[in-house]
Structure 1
Amino acid sequence: MLYLSYLPDEMNVSFEEALKIGADLGLKWVEMRAVDGVNSIDLTDSQVEEAKRLLDRYNMKVSAIATPFLKCTMPGLDHEASGPMHAAREMSYEEHLELVSRGAELAKIFGTDKIRFFSFWYKEDVDFWDTLNEALNEAFKRLEGTGITIGVENEGACMIRHTGDLAEAARRLDPRVKFIYDPGNAARIGYPPRQEDLDVFADRIALVHVKDGVWDPEKGESHATLVGEGAVNWQNELKRIASKYQGALTLEPHYAPDGDTVRGMKESVAAIRRIAEENGIELG
C-alpha cells in the first residue's frame, strides 16, 4: 500500500503545531528533516528526546530521516556551488561522512531504516560516478550491521537531477543503494519524469517525494504549483508509481499560495488524495 507522509518543516510553524496540523488532516507519518529550525543531523540528544515525545503525543511514525548527506562539493573540485539547504549547515565532504553514524543513530531512535543522501553539488560535464560510489561505499562501512538503507535523492542542484540520471544511477551505483524518487524535482528543472526511466530504477525506490511545479526556460527558474497543476502530470505518475512501488509518499510541496505554507500543505494533501481516489489508488 501507498501511504502519505509529510515534512513538518515545510510549514512555517513550530514542530508541534506542524504535527497537530498533520494529525488533524489524518496523517500518521512524517519525514524528519528539521525541528524548529534545526536540521535533523544537528539535533542534540535532548532535542531528539523532545521531538520523540511530540511524535508519540500526536501518534506519528517516521518514514525516513531526511539527512543532508553529500550536499557538498565533490572532492577534487573547487567550484563554488550551493542549493536549498532546509536548515542544514554547509559542511565539508569529510564532515558529511563523519556524521553518517549519527544519521543511523537517529534512524534507530525514530524507528525508521532510511536515511537520505544526495550526489554532490551540480557541475556540468563532470564524471562523478566513481567518486560517488567511493563515498557511498565509505558510508556503507559506517553503517555496517545497522540495517539502515541509503536512499539517494534526485535534486536539481546536485549531480543526480532527473529521472534519466536515476536510471543511469541504477546501472552505475552499488546495488545496495536505493533511491528517493522526486518527480517534482525533475520537472522543476525542465525534465518531466519519463516512463522508460522509471522502468529501470523502480525496483530500487525506497521513498517517493510529492511536489509539483513548472520550469520557465526563458527566465531560467521554476516555481511551485499545487500538486496536479504543474509539469509532473500526477494523474499518470501516481498510477505508474503505484504499479511499481509500495511505501511512503512524502508531501514536500514547496507550495505556499499567498505565502501561506499551512494552506499550501492542506491543499496539497487534499490534491494528492483526490488524484488517488480518481484513479482507484488506496492511500493509507
Structure 2
Amino acid sequence: MKEIRIGAAAWGFRELTLPQQLDLVRRLGLVSLELGIANSPADVQTDADVRLLEQVKKEYEAFGISLDTAATGNDFTLKDGNAAAEDIGKLKRVIDICSFLGVETLRIFAGFTPYREVDETRFSRMIDALNTVARYGKEHGVVTAMETHGGVTAYPDGVVHFHSAATETGCLKRILRETDDSLKFVYDPANLYAIAGCDVEETAELVGSRIAYAHIKDFVKLPGGHLKPGAIGDEKRDWKRTIETVLKWTDTLMIEYEEPQDIEEGTRRSKQYLETILKEVWL
C-alpha cells in the first residue's frame, strides 16, 4: 500500500514569515509546504539572490519539512498580450529559483477570465504560454502544474466562483489536447464544487493521468448564496467519494485552508477531518 503524503498549500500562510510557516506545519504533523514565490508580499521574490535562497533551503531542512512544491501567480488569459509575455518571463525566473532549490513541482495558473471572454486569440496565447513555461520547466528539472481554478468575484460577505478556461470542460479538453505532456495539473475539487453545475468527478477523470497532486479545502455557502473559505468538512458534501476519486490519481494531498487569521485552527481541523475520511477509504 502506497503512503499518503499530507502537506500544506501556501496561500493561507501568506501573512506569516517562512520560519513561522514551517514551525506551524511541523507542529501540525504535515510533511511538506508549498513555497510561495512572487504571489504575495511575504513570498520569496523573483529578485532573490543566492544567499537568500540558500537560507530558504536551510530553514526547510532545520524544520524537517520537504521542499518539493512551490506556487506562484500568473494570468495568461488577460486581454493585453503584453501581460502574458511578462508572466512568461516571470515564470521562467520562478522556475530558475525552483531548480536551484530542488523543487520538483511548481503550481501555476492558466488565468481567471470568464471562459466565454477568452476568444481564439487569447486562448491560443494561453496555450502557447503554458507550453513555453512547461517546456522550460522540463529543461530545468521542474514540473509545472496548472491548478483547476475558476474566476472569482469578491463581495463584502464572500465570493462567487465562475468557470474559467481552467475549469470549463470544453476548454480543459482543448488544453489537454494542445499542451505538452510535461504540463501537469493540481486538482482542486473545492474550486469545482464552488462553480454551479460543475461535475467534480468528471473533471478528475478528465485530467486524472496528468494530476501532479491535489489541493484539499472547502467552501461554506452563506445564507445569501455567496461562499467563504472553510475547513474541510465545514460544508456537507460527499468528501468520502471525492477523496476516493483523488486517490485514484495521486497520493499527495495538500491542505489549503485559505483564511490567514485562523490558519492554525483551520488547518488543524482540516487535517483531523481528512484523516477521518482516509481511515474510511484507505486503511
Change over 3 Å in CA distance of 1:253–1:160 after alignment to 2: farther
- Residue 72 of structure 2 aligns to a residue whose secondary structure is strand
- The answer to whether the 8 A contact 1:151-1:177 is kept is yes
Aligned twin of 1:201:
207
SS of 2:23 mapped into structure 1: helix
- Verify: 1:249 aligned to 2:253, yes or no: yes
Indicate whether 1:152 and 2:146 are aligned: yes
Pick from 210, 216, 225 the counterpart of residue 216 of structure 2: 210
Name the structure 2 match of 1:80: none
**Cα contact 1:187–1:232 (8 A) shared by 2:** no
Match of 1:169 in 2: 175
The answer to whether the 8 Å contact 1:129/1:173 transfers is no
- Structure 1 residues 62, 160: CA separation in 2 closer, same or farther (over 3 Å shift)? farther
2:56 matches 1:51 = yes
Work out the CA distance in 2 between the residues paired with 1:47 and 1:74.
Answer: 35
Q: Return the offset for 1:144.
A: 5.4
Unmatched runs of 5 consecutive residues or more in structure 1: 77-90
Secondary structure, counterpart of 2:127 in structure 1: helix
Counterparts of 1:20-169 in structure 2, within 5 Å, are 20-33=23-36, 37-42=41-46, 44-45=48-49, 46-70=51-75, 73-75=78-80, 92-125=83-116, 126-127=118-119, 128-143=122-137, 145-157=139-151, 159-162=164-167, 164=169, 165-169=171-175
Paired-residue identity, %: 20
Shift of 1:34: 5.1
Q: Which 4+ stretches in 1 moved above 6 angstroms?
A: none
- TM superposition shift of 1:238: 0.6
Query: Amino acid of the residue matched to residue 260 of structure 1?
Result: D
Offset of 1:253 from its aligned partner?
1.5
Query: Number of paired residues?
Result: 263
Unaligned runs of 5+ in 2: 152-162
Q: What's the C-alpha RMSD, in Å, of the aligned pairs?
A: 2.9
AA aligned to 2:215 is H
1-side partners of 2:269 and 2:105: how far apart?
27
1:74: Cα distance to partner?
4.2
Equivalence for 1:224: 229
Deviation track 1:160-216 (CA, whole Å, cap 9, x = no partner) reads: 343735455324433332111111112223355432332221001012111111456
Residue 18 (1) aligns with residue 17 (2): no
Residue from 236, 241, 262 that aligns with 2:241: 236
TM-score by length of 2: 0.80
